[in-house]
Structure 1
């Protein structure tokens, strides 16, 4: 049974790292009550660890009898860029009990340390939003369909996972964000939806770009709220493609950017622009996490692949790290530090856990 740690000192709430570029600086604010290191804090000086290039942001932590400690965290560099692909042997565990002057290293092999599937506590949703206004349908629809299918295959696992889903929306000049395919974990279903797009799908040749941004931001925010209500952690990636500027003038640029700027910090925004009629600054502001541009339709697949790599890196930078602690019932509250090293980069974070109910043996 999970015993969640929810109370944290205001002393450890750090200032949010702000980015001028397209950095992925998302932290789950709903559960962490803070930013930066999330539930963690900088490690004690007695460990002698230098300030590192990596940031471990603890999103959640819990214990499971008879002695398992589970820490769910996101790894990024100091610029907020996600770090994916880490393995258990790249982590070092340190524990400090009430009788210890400093921390003791816990063997990762003897403690059965592992990176575990995080689907039971984490949901990741991708919202792909396509401009299907007249200019796209007449000149670049087939290239867009190829690029979108490639994006789906890159982002979605071949074996469907309930914790990883995607939905596809499209917009034209109507005051509506059209649903092409609802959230699903099946990339076959998503690809079929893309394949089914025809050049007569739209009846309004205008472009309601700002309306699409506002509406999909609300959808992503609602998904995060639904996930949090289930006591899980949620992340969402919004990916918007367009080949032009807002022509409908139904909503303002400032209203759209306000939605993006004020969205839950675990929502990332990506944008893809095509051709010479786009406003690169506006698209960069909308795609605050990352933005790419294609000068012609032949480059579309490459630009979609660039964004799919960034979406996947972000999702795979969340880790559920678990190990069996040697602490036992009666030892009370213990300090825990986790250090990660990958190449020349390293980082560490410190937190606490209570060994109440811990006995010998561990799954």
Structure 2
């Protein structure tokens, strides 16, 4: 299960992820990155960088910070195992610019790769499932196949010959979200339902492209009420939202903490059902008040939030909310809005959730190797930071289709 927000998540796989090291490949990458730094560094830093470069060439220890720990490679053949983190290069703290449409354009910076799963299979297919963030922790969406440079044993692989391609995210990742709506007496009595409906529709428009969504309601009851179960069908979600026009709460109290605890359990159950893909869940909470039912204490729910690998966002409406508590629940982002601004608040959360989902990539290519063990490295041109993966090319040959990706249960991604 992926936790894709501000805290590290847990990767759910059908086998353990194993990390080994390749010291020669690591040294080559360090020297390469040092050359890049010397070429672009301010004049005042050149002497220091030259000393570090000489140390790298001599194999001496380097006091060099990186985006992430070097992971080396892992495994061979069909059971080949990926690194769990990429070698990050030098940390710079500079942000990567994005275009007006919200997608990133490749430019010089520092990137942090996280290799989540990989495979090397005959005839010569290499498939990598990974995420990309800036070294400041921001998601890096919008990268295209030709933005990536692939090397095998430090020799660049021709993008034309390898036919490297970005596969649809859905073939390797199962992403899903719960929209948890407060339908207690205060919401109904304030006449805010039409605004909540508009905000929910706008949210669905943005996020259902990449994931499945469930709409779940709570009031003062212990149990949640599932309005719409997980689906990627927008019309089913719209119909559920429309049905709220005549909604009447069963218990006018507010079981806020209990509802969040129960929704996290729903995400846990969904993760256990997703065995053939890497999965990630998100919770988006909407409320206009504080916990009144007192079934779950503030301390208990914040402990659960701290431990969950799921992403959690919160939207607070009006002046009755407790900003400190709600902000702590929304560990990956919290928005507070007056009634008339609720649509904008939901939009901001949707944009953040969408960017988080789009930092995940599935890249396939055809290796030219035909025997032996090798180390590949993947990077974005003009940026420091890469990931590495060791693979065996025994029995490799012609006939590779880079889009031919096999899931863990042996079924085709098509």
Residue deviations 1:13-37, cap 9 Å, x none? xxxx9xxxx9534444333867xxx
Query: Which aligned pairs between 1:308-347 and structure 2 lie closer than 5 A?
Result: 308-328=350-370, 330-331=371-372, 333-341=373-381, 345-347=383-385
Note closer, same or farther for the CA distance 1:257–1:154 as it changes in structure 2 (3 Å cut). same
Deviation at residue 81 of structure 1 after TM alignment: 2.4
Deviation at residue 41 of structure 1 after TM alignment: 7.1
How far apart in 2 are the matches of 1:25 and 1:359? Answer: 42
Residue deviations 1:303-343, cap 9 Å, x none? 00101111111111110011111111x31x211111024xx
User: Is 1:122 the equivalent of 2:122?
Assistant: no
Which of residues 194, 204, 213 in structure 2 aligns to 1:142?
A: 194
Would you say the 8 A contact 1:23–1:81 is kept in 2? Answer: no
Deviation at residue 45 of structure 1 after TM alignment: 2.6
Residue deviations 1:288-307, cap 9 Å, x none? 1111111x111000000101
How far apart in 1 are the matches of 2:128 and 2:177? Answer: 24
Residue 73 (structure 1) aligns with: 130
How far apart in 2 are the matches of 1:58 and 1:182? Answer: 31
User: Is 1:245 the equivalent of 2:294?
Assistant: no
Flag structure 2 segments of 5+ consecutive residues without an equivalent: 34-88, 92-109, 402-414
How far apart in 2 are the matches of 1:41 and 1:276? Answer: 54
How far apart in 1 are the matches of 2:260 and 2:10? Answer: 21
User: Is 1:112 the equivalent of 2:154?
Assistant: no
Rg: which structure is higher?
2
Residue 275 (structure 1) aligns with: 318
How far apart in 1 are the matches of 2:12 and 2:351? Answer: 26
User: Is 1:54 the equivalent of 2:111?
Assistant: yes
Flag structure 1 segments of 5+ consecutive residues without an equivalent: 1-16, 97-102
Bigger share in helix: 2
Q: What TM-score, normalized to structure 1? A: 0.83
Residue 254 (structure 1) aligns with: 299
Partner secondary structure for residue 188 of structure 2? helix
Residue 176 (structure 1) aligns with: 223
How far apart in 1 are the matches of 2:340 and 2:248? Answer: 22
Residue 30 (structure 1) aligns with: 12
User: Is 1:285 the equivalent of 2:328?
Assistant: yes
Would you say the 8 A contact 2:184–2:251 is kept in 1? Answer: yes
Would you say the 8 A contact 1:41–1:351 is kept in 2? Answer: no
Q: CA RMSD in A?
A: 2.2
Q: What TM-score, normalized to structure 2? A: 0.73
Residue 141 (structure 2) aligns with: 84
> Runs of 4+ in structure 1 displaced over 4 angstroms?
38-43
Deviation at residue 224 of structure 1 after TM alignment: 1.5
How far apart in 2 are the matches of 1:275 and 1:39? Answer: 49
Which of residues 112, 117, 131 in structure 1 aligns to 2:182?
A: 131
Residue deviations 1:141-177, cap 9 Å, x none? 11001000110111112xxx7xx21100010111111
How far apart in 2 are the matches of 1:68 and 1:338? Answer: 15
How far apart in 2 are the matches of 1:95 and 1:301? Answer: 48
Partner secondary structure for residue 72 of structure 1? strand
How far apart in 1 are the matches of 2:398 and 2:147? Answer: 26
Residue deviations 1:73-100, cap 9 Å, x none? 011122332211111111111111xxxx
Deviation at residue 40 of structure 1 after TM alignment: 8.3
Deviation at residue 347 of structure 1 after TM alignment: 2.4
Partner secondary structure for residue 110 of structure 1? helix
Residue 83 (structure 2) aligns with: none
Partner secondary structure for residue 397 of structure 2? coil
How far apart in 2 are the matches of 1:268 and 1:24? Answer: 8
